[in-house]
Amino acid sequence: MEVNASFPVRIHSPSLNLTESVAKTPLGGIPMKKAIENMQGYLEEVGRFTKLDPQDDWLPITESRKGNAYYAAFHVLSSGIGFQALVLPFAFTTLGWTWGILCLCVAFTWQLYTLWLLVQLHESDTGVRHSRYLRLVMAAFGEKMGKLLALFPIMYLSGGTCVTLIMIGGGTMKIFFQIVSGEEACPLSTIEWYLVFTFTAILLAQLPNLNSIAGVSLIGAITAVTYCAMIWIVSLVQGRLARLSYDYDPPRERSHDTMIFITCGMHLASLPLLSEGTMPSDAKQPSRLAMWRGVVFAYLVIALCLFPLAIGGYWAYGNSIPANGGMLGALHKFHEHDTSKFILALTSLLVVINSLSSFQIYAMPVFDNLEFKYTSKKNKPCPRWLRTAFRGLIGCLAFFIAVALPFLPSLAGLIGGIALPITLAYPCFMWIVIKKPPKCSTSWYLNLTLGVVGMILSVLIVVGAIWSIVALGIEIHFFNPQ
């Protein structure tokens, strides 16, 4: 068989430019050249092809991948500013001005850095997307060790926060009704208000997936920013209290100084992965770019809310900030008679709305985990009726715990210390294990140091919380919420 000498035969080589090779052949016309260019781009795309688990299409977190930077910002804002922010000034009663501001700045920066790590770790070099924090920990440390390290903290942060939101939201509903209708006109007990809040939250929870609640998160973000601004502005306008004290107050030592670290960021540990998992991703526009834009915008707004609220609140109330309710409690306690009822009622209503929207975000990992177990076993999507039953069950269980264990917030320092590493330590260790920066490099030293310090801080917080409980005691009462 003869070979036509006018047709050059070329052997494929990885270093060969396919377009140039075809251009030099008689077949290298414009149509063929464009076709080869398109094929070359396609092959480059396949080189970092995103590997999606088919099961993800059945689960509420990743069921829709039409998310964007705006949705991510809404979710972060709605959950990042809330009842946690209201207790920040209380931490200053034991830390004081200097240490309080310093710890707040360090915690805020540290949390923002670990969020950046999680955003970068979401999509691995092989194309696998880790849309859930537990999956990422298991990929880094192994399945057994990952579950041992992260399963309880993640479930506590999701379920425990939902329980707390029922307490906060239901109690604030009662306050709102009393302001509007009068102190003696409230027809429902605290437990009944918890039930009203839970029923409303369960109704909202019927929205199918994380992207579908973006509008709810937007409303939650607007309400959170609004009531934070209203509270610290009213506090500053009314001025400092008479006989104000900023001296160290030993009786308030019950681990509330650790709440700066716990509330400033820990509750957001898994949120970047959840939000980023709802976004499309390709070689030209990886999901981490849009996610990081959303996080930066959200954290800028969060900073504009947290710092004035923490510093302004401590300036206005000093050591007189109530242990329960924080800034919201101080507003009602000290300015009930010199502030209009409209402002007090509106503030309470905004807190309720934000609590309802935050409930949807924090409950989503629990909903997703239940459906994951079902789809793994049955190998088919969860039916609509069963999804509704799961979400109603989780809401009812959270309501039962809120009623049965009303002293649960008193253990926030203890359980929060246990959960603290998932925000401040694990992301740093996972970066070293997965990204493998050169040993003794700046990145290696930085993440190793932050990880070790985060673990030490967690141990100190747990020990301090146990010591406070033993030394000061804790009031335990079942089925009797105040």
Q: Is the pLDDT of residue 35 over 50?
A: yes
Q: Of 43-57, 369-383, 421-435, give the lowest mean pLDDT range.
A: 43-57
Condensed to tens digits (0 to 9), the pLDDT of residues 84-104 reads 788 888 888 878 888 889 988
**Dist CA 60 CA 371 (whole Å):** 8
Question: CB within 8 A of 43, min separation 6: which ones?
Answer: none
Q: Please name the amino acid found at residue 414.
A: L
Read off the pLDDT band of 472 (50, 70, 90): confident
Query: How far is CA 430 from each of CA 114, 269, 473, rounded to the nearest angstrom?
Result: 10, 13, 38
Domains of the chain: 66-402 (1.10.4160.10)
Helices 426-435 & 442-472, crossing angle to 10 degrees? 150
Per the prediction, the chain carries an average pLDDT of 82
The whole-number pLDDT of residue 274 equals 80
Phi, psi of 480 (to 5 degrees): -145, 65
3-state secondary structure at position 123? strand
195: part of which helix (H) or strand (E)?
Answer: helix 190-204
Max distance between CA atoms of the chain, in angstroms, equals: 106
**Dist CA 355 CA 201 (whole Å):** 9
Query: How far is CA 385 from each of CA 64, 115, 208, 392, rounded to the nearest angstrom?
Result: 19, 36, 12, 11
The whole-number pLDDT of residue 44 equals 43
The whole-number pLDDT of residue 21 equals 45
- CA quadruple 235, 237, 243, 246: dihedral, nearest 10: 50
The whole-number pLDDT of residue 6 equals 40
Condensed to tens digits (0 to 9), the pLDDT of residues 360-418 reads 999 998 999 999 999 999 999 999 999 999 999 999 999 999 999 888 777 777 777 78
The residue that leads in pLDDT, 429 or 86, is 429
The closest of 301, 272, 209, 210 to 422, measured between CA atoms, is: 272
Read off the pLDDT band of 204 (50, 70, 90): very high
Read off the pLDDT band of 51 (50, 70, 90): low
Using a pLDDT cut of 90, give the percent of the chain over it. Answer: 41
The residue that leads in pLDDT, 84 or 204, is 204
Condensed to tens digits (0 to 9), the pLDDT of residues 217-269 reads 999 999 999 999 999 999 999 888 888 878 765 544 444 444 444 444 444 56
Q: Of 166-180, 266-280, 331-345, 461-475, give the lowest mean pLDDT range.
A: 266-280
Q: What is the mean pLDDT of residues 277-291?
A: 84
Condensed to tens digits (0 to 9), the pLDDT of residues 101-159 reads 998 899 889 989 999 999 999 888 777 888 888 889 999 999 899 988 888 888 878 88
Contact present, 121 and 113 (Cβ < 8 Å) = no
Query: How far is CA 295 from each of CA 118, 121, 407, rounded to the nearest angstrom?
Result: 11, 15, 34
DSSP class of 82 = S
The whole-number pLDDT of residue 52 equals 59
The whole-number pLDDT of residue 266 equals 46
